[in-house]
Amino acid sequence: MSTCAIPIDLSALRRAGAQAAGAGSTPPAAAAPATQATATPATQAPAPRWPQAAIEALFERPLLDLLFQAQQVHRQHFDPNEVQLSTLLSIKTGGCAEDCGYCPQSAHFDTGIEASKLMPLDAVLQAASEAKAQGASRFCMGAAWRSPKMRDLQRVTEMVQGVRALGLETCMTLGMLDAEQAQQLKSAGLDYYNHNLDSAPDFYGQIISTRSYQDRLDTLEHVRQAGINVCSGGIVGMGETRAQRAGLIAQLANLEPYPESVPINNLVPMPGTPLADAEPIDPFEFVRTIAVARITMPSAWVRLSAGREQMDDALQALCFAAGANSIFYGDRLLTTANPQAARDRALFERLGLRAQGQAAAPSA
């Protein structure tokens, strides 16, 4: 799965691309969040809840101290052995007008991904039913659009209603939204809208030129104002510095309120994209990013997102210890074969984890 702003089924895309291209303890003072300024003079902007320096200080902590702190925060807000399962479906793949440098769906790059039309409603509902049968509690639908057109919005609202009727939470990622579009999705019952910030503002321009950082913040604001839960995170391993990773977390953690769901993606370099040859990030740095997200956004679902397929079980376990408590689950659920879900079930069994909503095993 890609690190896309749009959470598409990247397992499928990767295959296609490959074919085509060949509370704990008190944090140190420097890492403590600033309290929200209430008596700030009107002429002065309020201090951010999490100054960048405090977030950078978290990144600098010894890894085991950082993990301990993250785990303590995690346990104050969540059952540490419970993981939320989301399944995603690309409802409209490829041919996107944007130029996100990591994304094989961009029409700017020759990645071998063919543009497809919006999936029919019955196929989407079939995939959602299968996801539910596999144990998913949330069904995410992504379309490779700059923003949805009016005629498309009508069709995706039907998908939201249909998936909700199956008893699943719904999430969509359709590109930029204006206030009216966000309201329409809210009226259809949409639970979450995903729109990633991707990276820090001072690195973003190296990755994307067709959509500004402010465009992204505006969409998040429209989603928030409409009363839809915000899902927003980013991608690491694109060549950014540690300070820029901290900058991404600072942007997310200082949103008022911070997102309910925070996907942290590890770049999966895709053939044909400008980031095809990006150097992989140190796995422990990825774990640190998860831990810092957990500490700074204590009640958010922190999703171990793209890149999980490339991680071994031990690294995934470390990510859960760092406070990740959501995953994308399943491979292509339009087919009966689902080896990825089987691997996840085996991992959960070994780690004693369970899916959100599943009863805990009685203690011996």
Q: Of the listed 155, 288, 303, 308, which one is catalytic?
A: 303
Report which secondary-structure segment, H or E, holds 238: none
3-class DSSP assignment, residue 345:
helix
Number of residues that bind ligand SF4 (CB under 6 A): 11
User: Which residues, numbered 101-140, are part of the site for ligand SF4 (CB under 6 A)?
Assistant: 103, 105-106
Out of 9, 73, 91, 98, the only residue in the binding site for ligand SF4 (CB under 6 A) is: 98
Return the number of the residue (100 or 293) whose C-beta is nearest ligand SF4: 100
**Piece in contact with ligand SF4 (CB under 6 A), picked from 43-51, 95-103, 221-229, 240-248:** 95-103
Out of 1, 4, 226, 302, the only residue in the binding site for ligand SF4 (CB under 6 A) is: 4
Report in angstroms the alpha-carbon separations of 336 from 16, 127, 163, 166, 264: 19, 10, 19, 19, 28
User: Which residues, numbered 168-197, are part of the site for ligand SF4 (CB under 6 A)?
Assistant: 175
Mention every residue, 6+ apart, whose C-beta is less than 8 A from residue 308.
Answer: 1, 266, 316, 327, 328
Q: Is 4 a catalytic residue?
A: no
**Piece in contact with ligand SF4 (CB under 6 A), picked from 81-89, 93-101, 253-261, 292-300:** 93-101
Return the number of the residue (56 or 240) whose C-beta is nearest ligand SF4: 240
* Burial degree of 227 (CB within 10 A; 0-12, 13-18, 19+): exposed
**Piece in contact with ligand SF4 (CB under 6 A), picked from 68-76, 80-88, 94-102, 163-171:** 94-102
144 belongs to the binding site for ligand SF4 (CB under 6 A): yes
* Burial degree of 69 (CB within 10 A; 0-12, 13-18, 19+): buried
Q: Is 319 a catalytic residue?
A: no
96 belongs to the binding site for ligand SF4 (CB under 6 A): yes
Query: Which of 106, 146, 113 minimizes the C-alpha distance to 274?
Result: 106
What does the block give as tokens for 109? 């790059």
Contact 140, 88 (CB under 8 A): yes
Which residues participate in catalysis according to the annotation? 96, 100, 103, 140, 171, 231, 303
